[in-house]
Structure 1
Amino acid sequence: MELNTNIPLPLQRLYQWEQSRPSDIYMTQPMGGDIVQDYTWQRTAQEVRRMATYLKSLNLPADAKVGILSKNCSYWIMADLAIWMAGYVSVPLYPTLNAETVGKILEHSETKVLLIGKLDDWNMMKDGIPADMNCISTALSPDDVKVKYPQWDDIVAKNAPMQESPTRKHDELATIVYTSGSTGMPKGVMLSFGAMVAAGNGAADANGLTKDDRMLSYLPLAHVFERYAVEMTSLDKGFRLFFAESLDTFLKDLQRATPTMFISVPRLWLKFQAGVVGKLPQKKLDKLLKIPGVSFLIRKKILKGLGLNHVRLAASGSAPLSEDIINWYRRLGLELLEGYGMSENFAYSHIMKPGRVRVGYVGEPLPGVQQRISADGEIQIKSPGTMMGYYKEPEKTAETFTDDGFLKTGDRGEIDEMGRLKITGRTKEIFKTSKGKYVAPAPIENKLVSHSDVEMVCVAGVEQPQPYALLMLSEGTWPKRNTPEVRERLEKELPELIKSVNATLDPHEHLQFVVVVKDQWTIENAFLTPTMKMKRNVIEDQYKSQVEGWYAARKKVIFE
């Protein structure tokens, strides 16, 4: 797809806001305790210019790769801009990777310099960084990183700001984003400046964003979604960004930001709901919401307590939301919008439109996006945000596109009469039972996750007579999983859930049983990718030794 060269690039926007709004605050960064640091557009640009001077002084090759290993913070955004200003390519790394993967990505990308910023588990990844790697620390880095490597603030103080205002070209390589890597070595997705700004500008305009909006940045900037929906849109429109300090301070950080647009994942939406219901039982809340006048005050109080009282656009991604949770928030006045995208198109693909939400669907194509379903049911997309290809992998790049330039997503789907897309599963996730019948797990999982005690579901059953489901309990229920009260409730409710779900399925898809697992599937224990997607192969391997015993038990509900 031809790039629109009329859209200003990130550096052009930085120069624009530096000149026209120098004293306006762009970023607000918690520094620990009650200390908060504000970055005006002028300060942001000055620090970016000084860091760019330093990077240029290292005499790196013209297209050098510079890595960013950090949780979201002001330094992350400034590092990205400084790398581009110096003429280089940024390579973000997830702040939850293990040492082996860090090492592989740094080697594959040929990264020359690495910014090591805010991290929760430095010890897990430090062995993956070559001893001779040129690294930069920040005021938010782990203490031993700050001791070992030069600090951002010191570098900025010692280097003069770059006087010229370099620009890049729309068709130039801007960044290499390594995919989550649910299996094997992550692939390096090459994105041009033109693709990145087309996505950012398109999303900002489609959602009516302006310089007066506010967002809290906490989903990983190393992932394309936060990069396009937060970094690119904020630069495009010049609105204010806030950052979160930690999970413990998240509510305070959210209340400080009072965002007008808030994007989250199902786990956090569920956590918010559990917090509200913990203070105001659901039956009482239901009664209050039916009383005219009182319902308005209750909704306002709940949303204000969550820091969401100014939100006009709320979205969720990474996994499907149940109809129950969508309806619960809708009653509070928040219409949760779901979307769809991939690293390969910079997540610029689909989003639900207010007033046009259909539960189970991921939305309509964003401006400039074309969609179609192939003869074998695969979703194929052509987007302004489409990648240049996989770094150093021309054969895999060629395999990923059709002859006429559509991206093969690997997802199966359907399109309704209003153009809304429904994901019905992954092409590679479909498995065959011992009866020779094929089962698509995703639609069944989406039905099971509607139970309030269930957070994640993995449907399996390769070469078994019927499928079964592994259930991971929600964060609130999991600690109480062995109490008689919870056991009795689940033993009563889950068979009814199986029955109701099976009634909607073809006979060969009927679940024989469900297993309540004792584990919590997390990024840290490698059950989930850094973007919270299940690693099916890891999950199925974890429990495969028990599967035959589960079938032999002939129970509807099994507690691991």
Structure 2
Amino acid sequence: MSIDSQERPGTTSESKSVNVATMFFDRVEKSAQREAFRRLENGTWTSLTWQQAAEQVEALAAGLLALGVESEQRVGIASGTRYEWILADLAIMCAGAATTTVYPTTNAGDTAYILSDSDSRFVFAEDEAQLEKLHDNRGDLPGLEKVVLFDGEGDGDWVLSLGDVLELGRQHLEQNPSAVRDRSAAITSDQLATLIYTSGTTGKPKGVRLAHRAWVYEGDTIAGFGILDEDDLQLLWLPLAHAFGKVLISAQLACGFASAIDGRVDKIVENMGTVKPTFMGAAPRIFEKAHAKVVMSQHGVKEKLFNAAFAVGRQVSRRRREGKSVPPPLALAHSVFDRLVFGKVREVFGGRIRFMISGSAPLNRDIAEWFHAAGLLILEGYGLTETAAGAFINRLENYRLGTVGQVFDGSEVRINDDGEVQIKGPCVMDGYHNLPDKTAETLTEDGWLRTGDRGQLDDDGFLTITGRLKELFKTSGGKYVAPPAIEGRFMAMCPYAGHMLVFGESRNFCVALLTLDPDAISSWADEHGMGGTPYGELVKSDRVREMIGEYIDRLNSELNRWETIKKWAILDHDLSIENNELTPSLKVKRSVVEEKQKDLLDSFYQR
């Protein structure tokens, strides 16, 4: 069955915590007066210590106990990334209940489905917009007893304010001082902690059942790497309804660093300049956009200096990664360029970044090498919702660009005869909620998770993801094509690209649908006398098509003949979550786009 396999011994840091609740209270005991969280209040960043956060968590957990929540009962959170999300999540788990995560962009029908399928008794809703979804579908939610609003007032009946539940909890603690600590101490490691519904590129979302042991294991493993401690600060913007965002909270509890929280994607770069974090996690699209923004800001003499700097930077980066010495003339040139160019690039990201983490989707190697040349290391990792996010990662002192690193300590990986990556370890889910057949399809009888991803392991255990099993297609000529590899290459070379999707299943050649990044193409238009032209008109213009065509030609020159893009079109809009073309974690719903653009795709093959 197994072509290649790797196992890493359990060398995670020692932890007496068996659940996330005691993990939290252990951290509070160790770091009581140190900064835990930083949030924006009226445009100003304000801090909370671990002790201050603990007082709020314990009061909110007690409020849930007063409302009657029982062990493993589900409590939903429908909100964007903010401090209150973390407060609610920790309170739910400290009360022995389990968090059901709901993206704030989820439509009303799917929100109702998730809360109904999960049997959620209570739900924390961010604001009136989230509350309206629940009101509109209240008839489909007979088991939902109360809604708790982060922003807004209660109605004295079905809706409570966050302040109402905090006050209820404080009263409960006056009468039962140890209620929350007693409930927390009774939680077993196998008890349900979180129900995360996969946003899914097709079909109804599936609820992934993750036990406390998975999150404790993730946090302890990351702490065991020894790369983060109480002096670090992360900028946390990732959706906390997604496993990648959630695992960073587990890491925070285990390592003790502080988190500055702001879920607004358009404020990431601005916040980095203000907060000056030491590390940050992000999806590849964020790195692609940051790369494009920096590259496009260079003009004239400045651009020539910039290009010369990165030519030197890449040479130095490559030699250092290969363990080779840097010749004195090259080292001198690099020192000059570091002062003139690379230092300024690092300042864009706050100037204190020690490393960044990329996950959720494949990171193009060219992008990783560009950042590394500027002195910004991106540690790429790999995992799924079904593995509580992390299963592989490159280490700070042991990394290989283009790979997702080595398997987490205490877990195992194997590659089966079809090239599929399979994982076994404490982070693997218990199964899909209410879906025994789907669980049986995904988990082998001996506990291995079938990831659906193709991959290769090198002799040192570094994993390279080569694509999705289902995304690989065969042309009518019998040649296999891996669309993500082609798409990633194009995204790295074209700073104006929003998305690229390659198609050609059972056809005699490959075609592509493109979108352009609105901000990037708008800047291009300003520079080429077309400023103010609406996006829909820009993408139809001959000048834009000619410019993009040059990038397509460059792409094709690097591909095998059967992979080359023979025909292509630029869509009149960028893909979006609102149009159901992207998942909330920014993955493309390929089948949705294909169905929407069926006529256009068919026209490529008409004679």
Give TM-score scaled by structure 1 length: 0.89
Q: Which residue of 2 aligns with 1:545?
A: 599
Give 1:334's match in structure 2, choosing from 365, 368, 376: 376
For residues 182 and 52 of structure 1, the distance between their equivalents in structure 2, rounded to whole angstroms, comes to 34
Contact 2:57 2:88 in 1 (8 A): yes
Question: CA, structure 1 residues 376+544, in 2 after alignment: closer, same or farther (shift >3 Å)?
Answer: same
| Bigger RCO (CA 8 Å, 6+ sep) | 2
Give 1:136's match in structure 2, choosing from 140, 145, 148: 148
For residues 57 and 550 of structure 1, the distance between their equivalents in structure 2, rounded to whole angstroms, comes to 63
Q: Give 1:549's aligned amino acid.
A: S
Match of 2:427, SS state, is: coil
> In the alignment, is residue 487 of structure 1 matched against residue 564 of structure 2?
no
Alignment deviations for residues 480-533 of structure 1 (CA, whole Å, 9 cap, x no partner)? 534554332223332232232235xxx4x4443333322211222111111111
Q: Which residue of 1 aligns with 2:31?
A: 21
> In the alignment, is residue 163 of structure 1 matched against residue 217 of structure 2?
no
Please show how residues 298-313 of structure 1 align to structure 2 within 5 Å: 298-307=341-350, 309-313=351-355
Question: CA, structure 1 residues 145+293, in 2 after alignment: closer, same or farther (shift >3 Å)?
Answer: farther
For residues 386 and 262 of structure 2, the distance between their equivalents in structure 1, rounded to whole angstroms, comes to 27
Q: Which residue of 1 aligns with 2:571?
A: 517
Contact 2:72 2:193 in 1 (8 A): no
RMSD: 2.9
Q: Which residue of 2 aligns with 1:112?
A: 121
Contact 2:222 2:251 in 1 (8 A): yes
Q: Which residue of 1 aligns with 2:559?
A: 501
Deviation at 1:286, TM superposition (A): 3.0
Contact 2:278 2:355 in 1 (8 A): yes
For residues 292 and 402 of structure 1, the distance between their equivalents in structure 2, rounded to whole angstroms, comes to 51
Deviation at 1:435, TM superposition (A): 4.1
Q: Give 2:286's aligned amino acid.
A: L
Q: Give 2:577's aligned amino acid.
A: I
Q: Which residue of 2 aligns with 1:283?
A: 304
Deviation at 1:424, TM superposition (A): 2.0
Q: Which residue of 2 aligns with 1:397?
A: 439
Deviation at 1:241, TM superposition (A): 0.9
Deviation at 1:319, TM superposition (A): 2.8
Q: Which residue of 2 aligns with 1:80?
A: 89
Deviation larger for 492-501 or 279-288: 279-288
Deviation at 1:173, TM superposition (A): 1.1
Contact 2:423 2:448 in 1 (8 A): yes
Question: CA, structure 1 residues 247+84, in 2 after alignment: closer, same or farther (shift >3 Å)?
Answer: closer
Q: Which residue of 2 aligns with 1:244?
A: 262
Unaligned runs of 5+ in 1: 554-560
Q: Give 2:103's aligned amino acid.
A: Y
> In the alignment, is residue 372 of structure 1 matched against residue 414 of structure 2?
yes
Deviation at 1:321, TM superposition (A): 2.9
Q: Give 1:98's aligned amino acid.
A: N
Q: Which residue of 1 aligns with 2:512?
A: 469
Deviation larger for 539-548 or 285-294: 285-294
Q: Which residue of 1 aligns with 2:325?
A: none
Contact 1:101 1:128 in 2 (8 A): no
Q: Give 1:201's aligned amino acid.
A: D
Please show how residues 151-550 of structure 1 align to structure 2 within 5 Å: 151-160=161-170, 161=173, 163-164=177-178, 165=181, 166-167=184-185, 168-206=187-225, 208-228=227-247, 230-244=248-262, 246-281=264-299, 282-287=303-308, 291=333, 293-297=335-339, 298-307=341-350, 309-354=351-396, 357-435=399-477, 437-452=479-494, 453-475=496-518, 476-477=520-521, 479=535, 480-503=538-561, 507=562, 509-550=563-604
Deviation at 1:61, TM superposition (A): 4.3
Q: Give 2:472's aligned amino acid.
A: I
Contact 1:56 1:86 in 2 (8 A): yes
For residues 464 and 125 of structure 1, the distance between their equivalents in structure 2, rounded to whole angstroms, comes to 45
Contact 1:116 1:145 in 2 (8 A): no
Match of 1:463, SS state, is: coil
Deviation at 1:547, TM superposition (A): 2.2
Please show how residues 22-101 of structure 1 align to structure 2 within 5 Å: 22-34=32-44, 36-101=45-110
Question: CA, structure 1 residues 379+14, in 2 after alignment: closer, same or farther (shift >3 Å)?
Answer: closer
Match of 1:399, SS state, is: helix
Match of 2:559, SS state, is: helix
Percent of aligned pairs with the same residue? 32
Q: Which residue of 2 aligns with 1:556?
A: none
Deviation at 1:38, TM superposition (A): 2.3
Unaligned runs of 5+ in 2: 1-6, 313-332, 523-534
Contact 2:372 2:378 in 1 (8 A): yes
For residues 545 and 270 of structure 2, the distance between their equivalents in structure 1, rounded to whole angstroms, comes to 35
Match of 1:490, SS state, is: helix
Deviation at 1:248, TM superposition (A): 4.9
Contact 2:237 2:265 in 1 (8 A): no
Question: CA, structure 1 residues 545+126, in 2 after alignment: closer, same or farther (shift >3 Å)?
Answer: farther
Q: Give 1:408's aligned amino acid.
A: R
For residues 471 and 64 of structure 1, the distance between their equivalents in structure 2, rounded to whole angstroms, comes to 44
Give TM-score scaled by structure 2 length: 0.82
For residues 201 and 114 of structure 2, the distance between their equivalents in structure 1, rounded to whole angstroms, comes to 15
Deviation at 1:443, TM superposition (A): 2.8
For residues 170 and 305 of structure 1, the distance between their equivalents in structure 2, rounded to whole angstroms, comes to 42
Question: CA, structure 1 residues 497+110, in 2 after alignment: closer, same or farther (shift >3 Å)?
Answer: same
Question: CA, structure 1 residues 50+493, in 2 after alignment: closer, same or farther (shift >3 Å)?
Answer: closer
Contact 1:69 1:115 in 2 (8 A): yes
